[in-house]
Chains A and B, each alone.
Chain A
Amino acid sequence: MSDTPSKILYCRCAFAKVVPDGVKTEVLDGLCESGKSFESVADLCEMAARKDPRIQTLLDESGTTRIAACYPRAVKWLFHQAEAPFPSDDQVEVINMREEKAPDILEKLLKS
Protein backbone atom coordinates (compact mmCIF):
# COMPACT_ATOMS: atom_id res chain seq x y z
CA MET A 1 0.00 0.00 0.00
CA SER A 2 0.95 3.62 -0.29
CA ASP A 3 3.31 5.08 2.30
CA THR A 4 1.09 8.08 2.76
CA PRO A 5 -2.01 6.92 4.58
CA SER A 6 -5.02 9.10 4.23
CA LYS A 7 -6.52 7.81 7.44
CA ILE A 8 -5.31 6.36 10.70
CA LEU A 9 -7.73 4.40 12.87
CA TYR A 10 -7.11 3.14 16.38
CA CYS A 11 -9.32 0.61 18.16
CA ARG A 12 -9.24 0.64 21.96
CA CYS A 13 -10.85 -2.81 22.25
CA ALA A 14 -12.50 -1.48 25.39
CA PHE A 15 -14.84 -4.40 25.94
CA ALA A 16 -12.20 -7.08 26.35
CA LYS A 17 -8.74 -7.54 27.74
CA VAL A 18 -7.29 -9.31 24.75
CA VAL A 19 -5.05 -6.43 23.66
CA PRO A 20 -2.27 -5.78 26.20
CA ASP A 21 -3.00 -2.58 28.11
CA GLY A 22 0.59 -1.41 27.85
CA VAL A 23 0.62 -1.78 24.08
CA LYS A 24 -2.63 0.01 23.39
CA THR A 25 -1.78 2.85 25.75
CA GLU A 26 1.69 3.31 24.28
CA VAL A 27 0.26 3.32 20.77
CA LEU A 28 -2.39 5.88 21.69
CA ASP A 29 0.27 7.99 23.37
CA GLY A 30 2.36 7.87 20.22
CA LEU A 31 -0.59 8.89 18.07
CA CYS A 32 -1.43 11.79 20.38
CA GLU A 33 2.20 12.91 20.26
CA SER A 34 2.45 12.57 16.51
CA GLY A 35 0.64 15.76 15.60
CA LYS A 36 -1.40 13.85 13.03
CA SER A 37 -5.12 13.60 12.78
CA PHE A 38 -6.57 10.20 13.58
CA GLU A 39 -9.80 8.44 14.38
CA SER A 40 -10.21 6.32 17.46
CA VAL A 41 -13.07 4.08 18.51
CA ALA A 42 -13.86 2.37 21.78
CA ASP A 43 -14.41 -1.00 20.18
CA LEU A 44 -14.75 -1.91 16.54
CA CYS A 45 -16.54 -5.14 17.40
CA GLU A 46 -19.17 -3.27 19.36
CA MET A 47 -19.69 -0.76 16.57
CA ALA A 48 -19.89 -3.50 13.97
CA ALA A 49 -22.37 -5.51 16.02
CA ARG A 50 -24.88 -2.70 16.11
CA LYS A 51 -24.02 -1.49 12.64
CA ASP A 52 -23.15 1.96 13.93
CA PRO A 53 -23.43 4.33 10.94
CA ARG A 54 -20.05 5.83 11.79
CA ILE A 55 -18.35 2.59 10.74
CA GLN A 56 -19.16 3.52 7.15
CA THR A 57 -16.90 6.56 7.50
CA LEU A 58 -13.88 4.88 9.05
CA LEU A 59 -12.29 3.66 5.84
CA ASP A 60 -11.09 5.97 3.13
CA GLU A 61 -12.79 4.75 -0.01
CA SER A 62 -10.40 6.41 -2.41
CA GLY A 63 -7.21 6.51 -0.36
CA THR A 64 -5.58 4.27 2.16
CA THR A 65 -6.30 3.49 5.78
CA ARG A 66 -4.06 2.07 8.49
CA ILE A 67 -5.82 0.40 11.38
CA ALA A 68 -4.30 -0.44 14.76
CA ALA A 69 -6.52 -3.22 16.07
CA CYS A 70 -6.17 -6.99 16.24
CA TYR A 71 -5.79 -9.86 13.78
CA PRO A 72 -6.13 -8.65 10.18
CA ARG A 73 -8.36 -11.56 9.19
CA ALA A 74 -10.80 -10.73 11.98
CA VAL A 75 -10.81 -7.00 11.25
CA LYS A 76 -11.32 -7.47 7.53
CA TRP A 77 -14.38 -9.66 7.96
CA LEU A 78 -15.70 -7.60 10.84
CA PHE A 79 -15.98 -4.63 8.50
CA HIS A 80 -17.51 -6.86 5.85
CA GLN A 81 -20.12 -8.08 8.33
CA ALA A 82 -20.90 -4.48 9.28
CA GLU A 83 -21.66 -3.76 5.62
CA ALA A 84 -18.55 -1.60 5.30
CA PRO A 85 -16.15 -3.88 3.42
CA PHE A 86 -12.58 -2.91 2.69
CA PRO A 87 -12.54 -1.07 -0.65
CA SER A 88 -9.65 -3.37 -1.54
CA ASP A 89 -7.07 -5.26 0.48
CA ASP A 90 -4.37 -2.97 -0.94
CA GLN A 91 -6.04 0.09 0.51
CA VAL A 92 -6.21 -1.08 4.10
CA GLU A 93 -3.36 -2.15 6.35
CA VAL A 94 -4.31 -3.75 9.65
CA ILE A 95 -1.65 -3.68 12.34
CA ASN A 96 -2.06 -6.24 15.09
CA MET A 97 -1.80 -4.82 18.62
CA ARG A 98 -2.31 -8.29 20.09
CA GLU A 99 0.95 -9.54 18.65
CA GLU A 100 3.20 -6.65 17.74
CA LYS A 101 5.23 -4.30 19.92
CA ALA A 102 4.14 -0.68 20.34
CA PRO A 103 7.20 0.92 18.67
CA ASP A 104 6.76 -1.32 15.63
CA ILE A 105 3.06 -0.55 15.46
CA LEU A 106 3.67 3.17 15.64
CA GLU A 107 6.32 3.03 12.98
CA LYS A 108 3.89 1.29 10.64
CA LEU A 109 1.05 3.65 11.47
CA LEU A 110 2.99 6.86 11.14
CA LYS A 111 5.45 6.15 8.36
CA SER A 112 5.15 8.57 5.51
Chain B
Amino acid sequence: MKNDIHPFQVVLYEGKGASAWDKAERLSVTATLLDKGYSVKRITENVANESTSPVSDAYPVLILGEFNEAAPDVFDGSGKLEITTRDTADLDSDGILELVATVRGEKDAGLNQPGEKGAWKPWFPVIDYDRCTNCMQCLSFCLFDVYGVDDEKEIQVQNNDNCKTNCPACSRVCPEVAIMFPKYTSGPINGEPVKEEDVARESMKVDITSLLGGDIYSSLKTRSEKAKSRFSKERSPDKALTERKKCLTKLQQSGIIPAEVLAELDLSTLPSPDEIQRKAEEMAKLMGES
Protein backbone atom coordinates (compact mmCIF):
# COMPACT_ATOMS: atom_id res chain seq x y z
CA MET B 1 0.00 0.00 0.00
CA LYS B 2 2.80 2.40 0.71
CA ASN B 3 5.46 1.73 -1.86
CA ASP B 4 4.10 4.29 -4.28
CA ILE B 5 3.78 7.04 -1.67
CA HIS B 6 6.52 9.63 -1.40
CA PRO B 7 6.99 12.52 0.97
CA PHE B 8 6.12 15.88 -0.53
CA GLN B 9 6.13 19.06 1.52
CA VAL B 10 4.13 22.18 0.74
CA VAL B 11 5.25 25.42 2.38
CA LEU B 12 3.04 28.50 2.52
CA TYR B 13 5.60 31.26 2.79
CA GLU B 14 4.53 34.60 4.22
CA GLY B 15 7.87 35.77 5.52
CA LYS B 16 10.33 38.39 4.40
CA GLY B 17 10.01 39.28 0.75
CA ALA B 18 6.46 38.04 0.43
CA SER B 19 2.99 39.35 1.22
CA ALA B 20 0.53 37.80 3.61
CA TRP B 21 -2.10 35.62 2.00
CA ASP B 22 -5.74 36.52 1.98
CA LYS B 23 -7.01 34.92 5.19
CA ALA B 24 -9.89 33.04 3.60
CA GLU B 25 -7.60 31.72 0.89
CA ARG B 26 -4.98 30.68 3.44
CA LEU B 27 -7.48 28.61 5.39
CA SER B 28 -9.15 27.17 2.31
CA VAL B 29 -5.89 26.10 0.67
CA THR B 30 -4.42 24.68 3.88
CA ALA B 31 -7.54 22.71 4.78
CA THR B 32 -8.01 21.36 1.27
CA LEU B 33 -4.40 20.29 0.93
CA LEU B 34 -4.53 18.52 4.29
CA ASP B 35 -7.75 16.77 3.34
CA LYS B 36 -6.04 15.57 0.17
CA GLY B 37 -3.19 14.05 2.16
CA TYR B 38 -0.49 16.74 1.92
CA SER B 39 1.60 18.13 4.73
CA VAL B 40 1.59 21.91 4.89
CA LYS B 41 3.98 24.18 6.70
CA ARG B 42 3.20 27.83 7.20
CA ILE B 43 6.11 30.19 7.65
CA THR B 44 5.58 33.78 8.73
CA GLU B 45 7.86 36.51 9.87
CA ASN B 46 6.35 36.09 13.29
CA VAL B 47 7.91 32.71 13.77
CA ALA B 48 6.83 31.03 17.00
CA ASN B 49 10.49 30.73 17.80
CA GLU B 50 13.63 31.55 15.97
CA SER B 51 14.58 27.98 15.36
CA THR B 52 11.85 26.18 13.47
CA SER B 53 13.25 22.86 12.50
CA PRO B 54 14.61 22.61 9.01
CA VAL B 55 12.66 20.75 6.41
CA SER B 56 14.26 17.35 6.39
CA ASP B 57 16.10 16.18 3.37
CA ALA B 58 15.58 13.71 0.57
CA TYR B 59 12.18 14.79 -0.65
CA PRO B 60 10.65 17.52 -2.79
CA VAL B 61 9.56 20.78 -1.20
CA LEU B 62 7.21 23.25 -2.88
CA ILE B 63 7.32 26.80 -1.54
CA LEU B 64 4.31 28.93 -2.40
CA GLY B 65 4.18 32.64 -1.81
CA GLU B 66 3.00 35.98 -3.04
CA PHE B 67 6.50 37.20 -3.59
CA ASN B 68 7.21 40.89 -3.86
CA GLU B 69 9.51 40.19 -6.76
CA ALA B 70 9.93 37.13 -8.93
CA ALA B 71 9.74 33.83 -7.06
CA PRO B 72 13.27 33.31 -5.79
CA ASP B 73 15.42 30.35 -6.65
CA VAL B 74 16.10 28.50 -3.42
CA PHE B 75 18.80 25.91 -3.07
CA ASP B 76 19.47 23.42 -0.33
CA GLY B 77 23.01 23.73 0.92
CA SER B 78 23.32 20.00 1.36
CA GLY B 79 22.29 19.46 -2.23
CA LYS B 80 19.68 16.91 -1.21
CA LEU B 81 16.49 18.94 -1.18
CA GLU B 82 14.53 19.48 -4.33
CA ILE B 83 13.12 22.93 -3.66
CA THR B 84 10.66 24.47 -6.05
CA THR B 85 9.24 27.96 -5.62
CA ARG B 86 6.09 29.26 -7.24
CA ASP B 87 4.41 32.65 -7.09
CA THR B 88 0.73 32.45 -6.25
CA ALA B 89 -0.11 36.16 -6.52
CA ASP B 90 -2.33 35.71 -9.55
CA LEU B 91 -3.96 32.48 -8.48
CA ASP B 92 -7.16 31.80 -6.61
CA SER B 93 -7.57 28.81 -4.31
CA ASP B 94 -8.45 26.43 -7.13
CA GLY B 95 -5.49 27.63 -9.15
CA ILE B 96 -3.14 27.06 -6.22
CA LEU B 97 -4.45 23.54 -5.68
CA GLU B 98 -4.00 22.79 -9.36
CA LEU B 99 -0.47 24.15 -9.22
CA VAL B 100 0.39 21.90 -6.27
CA ALA B 101 -0.99 18.85 -8.06
CA THR B 102 1.00 19.72 -11.19
CA VAL B 103 4.29 20.13 -9.32
CA ARG B 104 3.68 16.92 -7.40
CA GLY B 105 3.14 15.16 -10.70
CA GLU B 106 6.36 16.59 -12.08
CA LYS B 107 8.19 15.27 -9.03
CA ASP B 108 6.50 11.91 -9.43
CA ALA B 109 5.49 12.00 -5.77
CA GLY B 110 2.68 9.53 -5.09
CA LEU B 111 0.10 10.45 -2.50
CA ASN B 112 -2.21 8.47 -0.25
CA GLN B 113 -5.37 10.52 -0.65
CA PRO B 114 -8.06 10.14 2.00
CA GLY B 115 -11.34 8.97 0.53
CA GLU B 116 -9.85 8.03 -2.82
CA LYS B 117 -10.36 4.55 -4.18
CA GLY B 118 -7.41 2.43 -3.17
CA ALA B 119 -6.33 4.76 -0.38
CA TRP B 120 -4.92 2.95 2.60
CA LYS B 121 -6.62 3.75 5.88
CA PRO B 122 -4.00 3.88 8.61
CA TRP B 123 -5.38 1.19 10.86
CA PHE B 124 -2.83 -0.55 13.02
CA PRO B 125 -2.07 -1.14 16.70
CA VAL B 126 0.04 1.19 18.79
CA ILE B 127 1.65 -0.25 21.90
CA ASP B 128 1.75 1.70 25.15
CA TYR B 129 5.06 0.53 26.58
CA ASP B 130 4.27 2.14 29.90
CA ARG B 131 1.64 -0.59 30.31
CA CYS B 132 2.92 -3.48 28.20
CA THR B 133 4.40 -6.38 30.17
CA ASN B 134 5.70 -8.20 27.09
CA CYS B 135 3.36 -11.13 27.76
CA MET B 136 3.09 -11.93 24.04
CA GLN B 137 -0.65 -12.45 24.17
CA CYS B 138 -1.06 -10.15 21.16
CA LEU B 139 1.61 -11.98 19.19
CA SER B 140 -0.06 -15.27 20.01
CA PHE B 141 -3.50 -14.02 19.18
CA CYS B 142 -3.00 -12.18 15.91
CA LEU B 143 -3.59 -14.38 12.88
CA PHE B 144 -1.93 -11.99 10.52
CA ASP B 145 1.62 -11.63 11.84
CA VAL B 146 1.18 -7.98 12.71
CA TYR B 147 3.36 -8.46 15.78
CA GLY B 148 6.91 -9.63 16.19
CA VAL B 149 9.80 -9.16 18.54
CA ASP B 150 12.94 -7.10 18.23
CA ASP B 151 16.49 -8.22 18.97
CA GLU B 152 15.85 -7.70 22.67
CA LYS B 153 12.77 -9.94 22.43
CA GLU B 154 10.49 -7.02 23.11
CA ILE B 155 7.10 -7.11 21.44
CA GLN B 156 6.65 -4.64 18.61
CA VAL B 157 4.36 -3.92 15.69
CA GLN B 158 6.28 -5.19 12.71
CA ASN B 159 3.78 -5.55 9.88
CA ASN B 160 1.11 -2.92 10.28
CA ASP B 161 0.10 -3.41 6.65
CA ASN B 162 -1.21 -6.83 7.62
CA CYS B 163 -3.68 -5.43 10.14
CA LYS B 164 -7.35 -5.83 9.17
CA THR B 165 -9.08 -2.46 8.99
CA ASN B 166 -11.51 -1.87 11.85
CA CYS B 167 -10.41 -4.99 13.73
CA PRO B 168 -9.28 -4.11 17.27
CA ALA B 169 -9.34 -7.72 18.49
CA CYS B 170 -5.77 -7.83 19.82
CA SER B 171 -6.50 -4.75 21.88
CA ARG B 172 -9.47 -6.46 23.41
CA VAL B 173 -7.48 -9.45 24.53
CA CYS B 174 -4.54 -7.46 25.91
CA PRO B 175 -4.66 -8.04 29.67
CA GLU B 176 -2.87 -4.76 30.35
CA VAL B 177 -4.97 -2.56 28.05
CA ALA B 178 -1.69 -1.60 26.42
CA ILE B 179 -2.77 -1.80 22.78
CA MET B 180 -4.41 1.21 21.16
CA PHE B 181 -5.99 1.86 17.80
CA PRO B 182 -6.02 5.67 17.53
CA LYS B 183 -8.74 5.62 14.85
CA TYR B 184 -11.11 3.59 17.02
CA THR B 185 -14.20 5.37 18.22
CA SER B 186 -14.23 4.58 21.92
CA GLY B 187 -11.93 4.16 24.86
CA PRO B 188 -9.70 2.80 26.10
CA ILE B 189 -8.86 1.27 22.71
CA ASN B 190 -8.63 4.74 21.15
CA GLY B 191 -5.99 5.83 23.64
CA GLU B 192 -8.16 7.35 26.33
CA PRO B 193 -6.61 7.19 29.79
CA VAL B 194 -7.07 3.68 31.19
CA LYS B 195 -9.33 3.33 34.22
CA GLU B 196 -9.38 0.55 36.80
CA GLU B 197 -12.66 -0.74 35.44
CA ASP B 198 -11.14 -0.96 31.96
CA VAL B 199 -8.47 -3.31 33.25
CA ALA B 200 -11.10 -5.45 34.94
CA ARG B 201 -13.26 -5.52 31.82
CA GLU B 202 -10.36 -6.47 29.57
CA SER B 203 -9.48 -9.30 31.94
CA MET B 204 -13.01 -10.62 31.56
CA LYS B 205 -12.62 -10.56 27.80
CA VAL B 206 -9.46 -12.57 28.08
CA ASP B 207 -11.42 -15.10 30.09
CA ILE B 208 -13.97 -15.22 27.31
CA THR B 209 -11.26 -16.09 24.83
CA SER B 210 -10.17 -18.90 27.07
CA LEU B 211 -13.57 -20.48 26.53
CA LEU B 212 -12.42 -21.20 23.02
CA GLY B 213 -10.05 -23.76 24.40
CA GLY B 214 -7.36 -22.53 26.76
CA ASP B 215 -6.57 -19.65 24.54
CA ILE B 216 -7.27 -18.76 20.97
CA TYR B 217 -3.84 -19.65 19.81
CA SER B 218 -3.88 -23.08 21.44
CA SER B 219 -7.21 -23.68 19.80
CA LEU B 220 -5.84 -22.67 16.44
CA LYS B 221 -2.76 -24.76 16.92
CA THR B 222 -4.71 -27.87 17.85
CA ARG B 223 -7.04 -27.40 14.97
CA SER B 224 -4.23 -26.69 12.58
CA GLU B 225 -2.44 -29.85 13.64
CA LYS B 226 -5.56 -31.86 13.00
CA ALA B 227 -6.04 -30.09 9.71
CA LYS B 228 -2.42 -30.66 8.81
CA SER B 229 -2.76 -34.33 9.57
CA ARG B 230 -5.80 -34.65 7.39
CA PHE B 231 -4.19 -32.49 4.76
CA SER B 232 -1.22 -34.80 4.53
CA LYS B 233 -3.45 -37.86 4.32
CA GLU B 234 -6.06 -36.57 2.02
CA ARG B 235 -4.26 -33.80 0.16
CA SER B 236 -7.31 -31.64 0.58
CA PRO B 237 -6.68 -27.93 0.98
CA ASP B 238 -10.42 -27.45 1.27
CA LYS B 239 -10.50 -29.34 4.52
CA ALA B 240 -7.70 -27.29 5.98
CA LEU B 241 -9.62 -24.20 5.00
CA THR B 242 -12.73 -25.57 6.64
CA GLU B 243 -10.81 -25.93 9.87
CA ARG B 244 -9.86 -22.31 9.76
CA LYS B 245 -13.40 -21.32 9.01
CA LYS B 246 -14.60 -23.24 12.05
CA CYS B 247 -12.11 -21.47 14.25
CA LEU B 248 -13.09 -18.12 12.81
CA THR B 249 -16.73 -18.92 13.47
CA LYS B 250 -15.88 -19.37 17.11
CA LEU B 251 -14.02 -16.11 17.09
CA GLN B 252 -17.04 -14.48 15.52
CA GLN B 253 -19.33 -15.89 18.16
CA SER B 254 -17.02 -14.58 20.84
CA GLY B 255 -17.60 -11.05 19.55
CA ILE B 256 -13.90 -10.26 19.79
CA ILE B 257 -13.43 -9.74 16.08
CA PRO B 258 -16.14 -7.54 14.55
CA ALA B 259 -18.47 -9.47 12.25
CA GLU B 260 -17.93 -7.06 9.40
CA VAL B 261 -14.19 -7.63 9.59
CA LEU B 262 -14.61 -11.39 9.51
CA ALA B 263 -17.04 -11.10 6.63
CA GLU B 264 -14.46 -9.25 4.56
CA LEU B 265 -11.64 -11.66 5.26
CA ASP B 266 -10.23 -13.57 2.39
CA LEU B 267 -9.80 -16.89 4.14
CA SER B 268 -7.30 -18.04 1.58
CA THR B 269 -4.94 -15.34 2.84
CA LEU B 270 -4.94 -16.67 6.38
CA PRO B 271 -1.80 -18.42 7.54
CA SER B 272 -1.50 -21.99 6.43
CA PRO B 273 -1.44 -24.83 8.96
CA ASP B 274 2.31 -25.03 8.44
CA GLU B 275 2.71 -21.33 9.12
CA ILE B 276 0.60 -21.58 12.27
CA GLN B 277 2.69 -24.51 13.39
CA ARG B 278 5.88 -22.59 12.73
CA LYS B 279 4.61 -19.63 14.68
CA ALA B 280 3.66 -21.89 17.59
CA GLU B 281 7.15 -23.31 17.70
CA GLU B 282 8.70 -19.85 17.57
CA MET B 283 6.45 -18.68 20.37
CA ALA B 284 7.26 -21.70 22.52
CA LYS B 285 10.95 -21.08 21.97
CA LEU B 286 10.61 -17.42 22.80
CA MET B 287 8.63 -18.03 25.94
CA GLY B 288 11.06 -20.72 27.00
CA GLU B 289 13.99 -18.39 26.64
CA SER B 290 12.43 -15.45 28.41
Contact = CB atoms under 8 A, between A and B. Distances in A.
Interface stretch (B55-63, B137-145, B206-214, B256-264): B55-63
Contacts of A74: 126, 180, 182, 190-191
Contact of A77 (B23, B41, B127, B184): B127
Interface string B165-191: 000000000000000101111010011
A40 B40 contact: yes
How extensive is the interface on chain B, given as a class? Answer: 35 or more
A53 B58 contact: yes
B162 to A, nearest CB: 12
A39 B35 contact: no
Contacts of A72: 191
Contact of A60 (B37, B51, B129, B185): B51
Contacts of B26: 32
Contacts of A6: 48-49, 51-52
A32 B40 CA distance: 12
Nearest to B12: A32
Contact of B48 (A8, A32, A78): A8
Contacts of A23: none
B30 A78 contact: no
Interface of A is mostly: mixed
Contacts of B30: 28, 32, 40
B56 A15 contact: no
A49 B7 CA distance: 13
Given A12-B34, A28-B30, A77-B129, A57 B53 contact: yes
24 contacts: A4-B49, A7-B49, A15-B114, A15-B183, A33-B23, A35-B46, A38-B41, A39-B40, A39-B41, A40-B30, A40-B41, A41-B34, A43-B37, A43-B114, A46-B37, A46-B120, A49-B2, A54-B55, A60-B51, A61-B53, A71-B180, A73-B192, A73-B193, A98-B190
Interface of B: 2, 5, 7, 9, 23, 26-27, 30-31, 34-44, 46-49, 51-56, 58-59, 112, 114, 119-122, 124, 126-129, 156-157, 160, 180, 182-185, 187, 190-193
